């Protein structure tokens, strides 16, 4: 938790150099952001009009989404909390109903993405604010606490949650762009591990790292062989708790600021 200044207000401490014991966390947060920015920067303009892994969202929308997320990181790291944590990297997530499209917020990302016009301007803004978010994360004290969306959590847990967010959205980004690179192996493994903690059960070891998050969050239905691995009966009653928690339907739209598992329920912070 940030120490209080002379006015009694808590601060998130920043340093001119990354905190030594913080390197391992930054080694996950930074590559997750860098990989997504690199994947977006390598796309030809025509790929921005392709569908993404988020139903109802184009690739350009998926590139715009992390612009909002980067701003969220910057705001959150500059919003210290004085109380004790109310959630951690696991309990930060919970199920909500999927968006219906009637909320004006649902249309925010597509409108913003379209307003950029040429993809290069969207790429530039993502690089600009994404790089700033990465630098801010590297300078923040992991033991400090931040206030975001009515919850208090440590900076370490907050950034850990974003490793999952960025990894999932890179998978969404490349869903219909096979030439684009997958997320780094270490961030895929980290996303899988955190999803297992949220679910309270482990994915089968035979399930590939890139498939586990997609199936576990309901982004795609499991194949017959995968259903056998997960222990899901032919009638569809899952015996694997990760599917009970994460994926109970087909993909649904993505919404900024929402930790989502498309389907009958969404993971939300």
Strand, coil or helix: 189: helix
For the chain, how big is the Rg over CA atoms in Å? 18
pLDDT, one tens digit for every residue, the chain (269 residues): 333 343 433 444 443 444 443 445 457 898 999 999 999 998 999 999 999 988 788 999 999 999 999 999 999 999 889 889 999 988 888 766 666 667 777 788 899 999 999 999 999 999 999 999 999 998 999 999 999 888 999 999 999 988 988 999 999 999 999 889 999 999 999 989 888 888 888 888 888 988 988 888 888 888 888 888 887 755 554 433 333 444 333 333 343 333 333 233 334 34
The secondary structure of 78-147 as a DSSP string is TSB--S--S--TTTT-EEEPPP-S-SGGGGHHHHHHHHT-SHHHHHHHHHHHHHHHHHHHHHB-TTSEEE
Q: Facing residues of 174 across strands?
A: none
Helix (H, G, I), strand (E, B) or coil at 153: strand
Phi-psi map region of 89: left, alpha, beta (phi>0 left; psi -120 to 50 alpha)? alpha
Q: Which helix (H) or strand (E) is 214 found in, with range?
A: helix 211-216
Please check whether residue 144 is in contact with residue 12, taking contact to mean a CB–CB distance below 8 angstroms: yes
CATH number for the segment(s) 20-268: 1.20.120.450
């Amino acid at each position: 938790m940030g120490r209080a200044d002379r006015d009694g207000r808590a601060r998130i401490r920043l340093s001119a150099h990354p905190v030594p014991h913080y390197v391992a966390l930054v080694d996950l947060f930074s590559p997750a952001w860098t990989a997504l920015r690199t994947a977006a920067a390598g796309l030809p303009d025509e790929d921005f009009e392709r569908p993404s892994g988020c139903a109802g969202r184009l690739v350009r929308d998926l590139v715009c989404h992390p612009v909002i997320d980067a701003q969220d990181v910057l705001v959150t790291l500059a919003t210290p909390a004085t109380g004790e944590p109310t959630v951690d990297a696991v309990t930060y997530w919970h199920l909500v109903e999927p968006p219906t499209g009637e909320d004006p917020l649902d249309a925010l990302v597509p409108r913003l993405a379209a307003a950029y016009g040429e993809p290069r301007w969207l790429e530039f803004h993502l690089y600009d604010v994404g790089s700033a978010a990465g630098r801010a994360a590297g300078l923040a004290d992991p033991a400090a606490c931040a206030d975001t969306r009515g919850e208090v959590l440590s900076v370490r847990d907050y950034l850990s949650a974003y490793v999952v967010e960025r990894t999932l959205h890179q998978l969404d980004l490349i869903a219909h762009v096979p030439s684009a690179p997958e997320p780094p192996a270490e961030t895929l493994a980290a996303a899988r591990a955190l999803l297992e903690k949220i679910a309270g059960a482990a994915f089968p070891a035979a399930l590939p790292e890139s498939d586990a998050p997609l199936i576990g969050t309901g982004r795609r239905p499991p194949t017959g062989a995968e259903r056998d691995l997960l222990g899901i009966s032919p009638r569809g009653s899952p015996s694997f708790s990760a599917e009970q928690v994460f994926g109970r339907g087909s993909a649904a739209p993505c919404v900024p600021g929402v930790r989502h598992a498309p389907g009958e329920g969404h993971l939300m912070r």
